[in-house]
Structure 1
Amino acid sequence: MSRMDDGLGRDTFWAFLNRVSGRFRGLYLSAMGIWTVIHGLPLIIGLVTARLIDGADEAVDSTVWWLLGLTVGLMVLRAAVLMGGLRLTFTLIFRISSWIKVQVLGQVLRTPSWRSTARGDGDILNRLREDTDEIGGLLEWSTDLIYRSVLLVAAIAVLVSTDPVMTLPLVLLLGGLWASVHLKRRVGALREDIRAQQGEISATVTDVLTGIRDVRLSDTVEGRLRALDRRFAARRATQVRHQIYADLTSDLFRITVMVGTAAVLLIVSVRIANGEFSIGKLVLFLTYIAWLGEQMFFFGYILARVQSGRVSYGRLSGLVGTAAAAGMPAAAAEPLTELKVTGLTRAPGPGTTASPPVSFTVRPGQLVAITGEVGSGKSTLVRGLLGLGTDVRGSVRWNGREIAGDAAYFRAPRVGYARQSPRFLRGTVSENLALGSSDVTTEQMERALAAVRLAPGSSGLPAGLDTLLDSGEARQISGGQRQRLALARMLCRPAQVYVVDDCDSSLDAPTARLIWETLPAQWPGAWIVVSHNPDLLAMADVVVTVVREPETGPPPAEPVPADAC
């Protein structure tokens, strides 16, 4: 998957559309060309028919047959071309919208959670679904904007050259277009409100389903439902206003077309009676007026579509936030000889505890244990080490190179990470271990599961690697099994540094002892482990004790030799 050259949101709206259309240039130009033919054929039919009628003279029967044959032939051609045009249109829309979905999701995944704006999962899914489809549809419609503009100029030129006086009423149609700009902007603003409200509804539903047990136990189901109903009512009110403005805009175009047509017919009747206007010209103007009315309606619609597209682009830009800075490519990393951490800390975020400054050094083959009382900031420290938190202070040096705060550097194959509260994908155990990578083999998975004492056929894995897991917490397995599965997932990708955040807290002592006797021996590297397990602390080369920050200021946490514990 190729990344966007510039992150979503760094381009202007029009620059983004131009870049995406350029990516699908061949398909884009093909769709434009085929729809130019489809919408241009009625103009050709009207022009040729007018010329044949005015030049028929005495050959009335011959003219009728010519008209019939020409009309049938062109309509058959148009129908055939129309099938190809529809196929190209839907292909273009689906390819663009799916590509944008992948790019946006990729940026969301590459953006550290602390940099992105906090949003519910339902809101994220709503934006990925609706806003990407909106932009994909707008880009397809932009092909219409280009060729219809060209055809519109050509049609008006034909009418002016045929009869300038009769062309003047068409100004009403153009005036109606510009009069609708204000209404279209209002439609776009209301559309933005609807999307925002739908995102809030989706987020609320997702949050309720995620915490359904707590909602039931606290007997707050009715209250949550009433709050959700209020959100639905607010969205309905906005949708009503949106529909009113949209219908007003649509009626404005219809009325403009009707008035313009009536004015043309009135002038025509007078000029035909005076012998100043031929039947062929009448056919030409009637054909072109109907076609121009359709184009005016389109241009009014595209104005609203552009406004909706701007809204969608802004929502997607807000979703991805500020993309994570790209780190040095993994392939260019030199083998670790020493990871030196000096005075590492970070400012507390909302609801978190500030971590005291910590210093330690770890080399391949060594194990650093980080321990401390609950709430002292051990996990905060680890996240700061991995560059997953904001305002990181202190120094982290990889072979002497400063990498503090560089989240992109702390990735496989340099670093493996097992988090304190692991999350899983809906799918099999093997899919959760591989995470979409074809480089992870079945042998690697089985070896990792054996190392963490998760045997296929056990209560946790009744179907082995084919055991199905739910998304999120995978509640069909126990807390200890989830922690061991998180360890196995990390082990499936050999790394130079393994960072484990309290993944043995739910394990019984014998199982934890066996795991820690196995992992550092079979997966050599530098290990940094947050744990309270006494067996792990006893085998560690260095133990760092993190203490809760006192109000008078934090004393630095000093490394303690393992034999002193």
Structure 2
Amino acid sequence: MTSPEQNGKKAEATPARIANAPRQGPGPGGPFRGAMPTEKAMNFKASSLRLVRMMRPERTLAIGTLLLGALSVAMSVVGPKILGHATNLIFGGVIGEMTDGFESKDEAVRAARAAGQGSFADMMAAMDFTPGVGIDFTEVGRVLMLALALFVLASACMLWQGRMTTVIVQRAAYRLREEAETKLSRLPLSYFDKQSRGEILSRTTNDIDNIAQTLQQAMSQLVISLLTIVGVLGMMIWISPLLALIAIVTVPVSLWVTVRIGKRAQPQFLKQWASTGKLNGHIEEMFTGHSLVKVFGRQKEAAATFAEHNDALYQAAFKAQFISGAIQPAMMFIGNLNYVLVAVIGGLKVASGTMSLGDVQAFIQYSRQFSQPITQVASMANLLQSGVASAERVFDLLDAEEQSPEPAAPLVPASNEGRVTFEHVAFRYDDDKPLIEDLSLSVEPGHTVAIVGPTGAGKTTLVNLLMRFYEVRGGRITLDGVDIASMTREDLRSRTGMVLQDTWLFGGTIAENIAYGAGDVTEEQIHRAAKATHVDHFVRVLPDGYDTVIDEEGSNLSAGEKQLVTIARAFLAEPSILILDEATSSVDTRTELLIQRAMTSLRSGRTSFVIAHRLSTIRDADLILVMENGEIVEQGDHTELLEKGGAYARLYAAQFAEAVVAED
């Protein structure tokens, strides 16, 4: 049985889509139409808060990281004060040796004043020294060892804090990927019709990786930086309220600069990631249709489109990085001004004796520690905005409208005969463009219904409604007397097998691809299905037989061989309803005849819907529906419709004429 994803396969690259890229807006031709998403303006605050709420399950670990961060910052903040004390011990020892011969500190200070050295006397008065006593290296060593121990412990706490942060972030990213994967399975087919695969891949890979990187940086650096600012500010106020006031004045200036620059950079980051998604979508599309691009000679056009997207990404990324990158040099300039002011005023206070040299040294270190985290926080603005821009895109995916919920009390048909009834069904892709209006149809179990008509007539739409890839706008569809809307999608689709014109294979062995969707099956059952659908004869000649590994594109199989594998998959599933959409279009005439015989056996006792363009393949159908503009204009068997001389007869005659021309 084929997967629902196969139905969406038609949204992939085709010659027409490649030749006319880039595209905007939905096309008129049915469900398989492409349109790039419209990006919304970024709500930085709301998206940021939502990112924080994502980590709520790890709040215990988050509290632990905060405590470890606080301990690390506290020990790091105390360190300069202890080093300042060591400086005072050394300087006091030097002054003590210089004042050898005086009885006391007061006597030395008076002597300095009497000698006209008032500033030096003031400085000595503010210091702790004993005349005649030099540097106490034992005490200095003890103080330095204490500082070293604090710095080592601070580093250890930061290391563990970083490890816990990594656990929190990676768990959050893991859940986000799970949510995205689960969301994709709940989205209706219409969502994938309007998005390129590259765009969806970009949101679920690049954007989530960028979010994880942002959270990692934010939780490690941002938290430590904020705690450092608070701790250092407290120490600066304790040492000198005046110098602390000078340092604090630079904070609102820094914030103002950061906000002003950040507002200019914010929309550029959104454009950057939107451009990344478009570029990925184009690359993926060109890679998928690489051979067709060459066949139709569209290499230059594809390269031109790539250059256009690449240039848009370059411009957005350049502006985003350049504008946000201006934050750090601006912060460095403000920090240097603060450093100069602190050094000058601190020197004056030392000279006046109102501060010790060690305190000034400690304060200068604190001023550096104070400006550095502010600069780090400011420089992280570009990372935060980039991460929030990615979060906005991922949240846009997670908030996309889902397919209608499953019924609370689903019904299960009492039988599995395959009787299908369309009762006054109405459907339209766009509200202002009706496609199917008041369509009624009854298909008896075991009958084969062929659906023919021009492109865009609604043939595939009919199948999409039966599979509930889309929901009807009016009327209802029943399966064995039960409205399919009251059944679960899983139950409905488990009764249905699909073989589409566009084959879908996944990376795995041929046996695994045949058994896909069939549950637990034996090797013998796989071989039996392969023989019935003429897969066995070409698989046997492969070096590894049924264990031959094929890639996602099935590049080591021909188009016809890939089609046969998907037919074998449907054969093995043994569904009650078969949907064949040009299922034999990729095989040769002889193989087609063999498959038609296999399909006849497979359809025995099962209801079959066959969408066909080659009318010669549906002559034996029990009922042929001719559709035009979403309506059934004719129905009957092959002979009846030819006798009517209507739309079917004209289609048949046109194909017969084409065949004659081809022979000529």
Q: The TM-score by the shorter chain falls in which range?
A: 0.7 to 0.9
The yes-or-no answer on 1:325 pairing with 2:404 is: yes
Contact 2:320 2:382 in 1 (8 A): no
> Secondary structure at the residue paired with 1:183?
helix
In the alignment, what sits opposite 1:115?
191
Gaps in structure 1 of 5+ consecutive residues = 1-8
Shift of 1:377: 2.7
CA distance in 2, matches of 1:317, 1:335: 42
The yes-or-no answer on 1:161 pairing with 2:235 is: no
In the alignment, what sits opposite 2:251?
174
In the alignment, what sits opposite 1:5?
none
Q: Aligned to 1:369, which of 449, 460, 466?
A: 449
**Which shows bigger deviation, 432-441 or 480-489?**
432-441
Counterpart mapping for 1:102-501 below 5 A: 102-116=178-192, 118-144=194-220, 145-146=222-223, 148-175=225-252, 176-319=254-397, 321-328=400-407, 333=412, 335-336=414-415, 339-347=420-428, 354-355=435-436, 358-361=439-442, 366-375=446-455, 376-389=457-470, 392-398=473-479, 401-404=482-485, 408=489, 412-433=493-514, 439=520, 442=523, 445-455=526-536, 458=539, 463-472=544-553, 474-490=554-570, 493=573, 497-501=577-581
Structure number with greater Rg is: 2
Shift of the 29–427 alpha-carbon distance from structure 1 to 2, 3 Å rule, reads: farther
Shift of 1:113: 3.0
CA distance in 1, matches of 2:62, 2:325: 31
The yes-or-no answer on 1:75 pairing with 2:155 is: no
Shift of the 333–89 alpha-carbon distance from structure 1 to 2, 3 Å rule, reads: farther
Q: Deviations over 1:238-294 (max 9, x none)?
A: 333333313311101111111112111121111111111123432432232222222
Contact 2:539 2:546 in 1 (8 A): no
Shift of the 557–383 alpha-carbon distance from structure 1 to 2, 3 Å rule, reads: farther
Shift of 1:555: 5.1
Shift of the 209–48 alpha-carbon distance from structure 1 to 2, 3 Å rule, reads: same
CA distance in 1, matches of 2:521, 2:256: 59
Shift of 1:457: 5.1
Q: Aligned to 1:514, which of 589, 597, 601?
A: 597
CA distance in 2, matches of 1:301, 1:273: 37
Shift of the 160–75 alpha-carbon distance from structure 1 to 2, 3 Å rule, reads: closer
Q: Aligned to 1:43, which of 42, 66, 77?
A: 77
Shift of the 277–497 alpha-carbon distance from structure 1 to 2, 3 Å rule, reads: farther
Q: Deviations over 1:66-122 (max 9, x none)?
A: 222123223333444444444444444444334423432432343223134633333
Shift of 1:21: 0.4
Shift of the 348–74 alpha-carbon distance from structure 1 to 2, 3 Å rule, reads: closer
CA distance in 2, matches of 1:430, 1:290: 66
In the alignment, what sits opposite 1:17?
51
CA distance in 1, matches of 2:517, 2:273: 32
Shift of 1:296: 0.5
CA distance in 2, matches of 1:515, 1:329: 40
CA distance in 2, matches of 1:517, 1:219: 41
Shift of the 513–141 alpha-carbon distance from structure 1 to 2, 3 Å rule, reads: same
CA distance in 2, matches of 1:143, 1:209: 38
Shift of the 463–149 alpha-carbon distance from structure 1 to 2, 3 Å rule, reads: same
Shift of 1:455: 0.9
CA distance in 2, matches of 1:465, 1:328: 40
Q: Aligned to 1:101, which of 163, 167, 177?
A: 177
Q: Deviations over 1:319-344 (max 9, x none)?
A: 46323233248997555556432133
Q: How many residues align?
A: 546
Q: Deviations over 1:404-455 (max 9, x none)?
A: 5989456543544333322222343244345699856645544443443311
Shift of the 400–411 alpha-carbon distance from structure 1 to 2, 3 Å rule, reads: closer
CA distance in 2, matches of 1:292, 1:255: 14
Contact 1:386 1:405 in 2 (8 A): no
Q: Aligned to 2:582, which of 485, 502, 512?
A: 502
**Which shows bigger deviation, 263-272 or 393-402?**
393-402
Shift of the 436–64 alpha-carbon distance from structure 1 to 2, 3 Å rule, reads: farther
Shift of 1:29: 4.2
CA distance in 2, matches of 1:533, 1:467: 36
**Which shows bigger deviation, 94-103 or 294-303?**
94-103
CA distance in 2, matches of 1:160, 1:399: 82
Q: What is the TM-score with the length of structure 1 in the denominator?
A: 0.82
1:546 counterpart letter in structure 2: V
> Secondary structure at the residue paired with 1:276?
coil
CA distance in 1, matches of 2:485, 2:517: 29
Shift of 1:129: 2.6
Shift of the 102–454 alpha-carbon distance from structure 1 to 2, 3 Å rule, reads: same
Shift of the 16–297 alpha-carbon distance from structure 1 to 2, 3 Å rule, reads: same
> Secondary structure at the residue paired with 2:213?
helix
CA distance in 1, matches of 2:80, 2:520: 63
CA distance in 2, matches of 1:416, 1:37: 62
Contact 2:500 2:582 in 1 (8 A): yes
**Which shows bigger deviation, 396-405 or 38-47?**
396-405
Contact 1:346 1:381 in 2 (8 A): no
Q: Aligned to 1:543, which of 578, 601, 623?
A: 623
> Secondary structure at the residue paired with 1:396?
strand
Shift of 1:387: 2.4
Counterpart mapping for 1:83-94 below 5 A: 83-94=159-170
Q: What is the TM-score with the length of structure 2 in the denominator?
A: 0.71
State percent identity of aligned pairs.
19
Shift of the 87–557 alpha-carbon distance from structure 1 to 2, 3 Å rule, reads: farther
2:460 counterpart letter in structure 1: S
CA distance in 2, matches of 1:462, 1:80: 57
CA distance in 2, matches of 1:442, 1:16: 49
Shift of 1:54: 6.2
**Which shows bigger deviation, 178-187 or 389-398?**
389-398
Q: Deviations over 1:369-388 (max 9, x none)?
A: 23323534321210122222
1:548 counterpart letter in structure 2: E
RMSD across aligned positions (CA): 4.0
> Secondary structure at the residue paired with 1:132?
helix
2:569 counterpart letter in structure 1: R
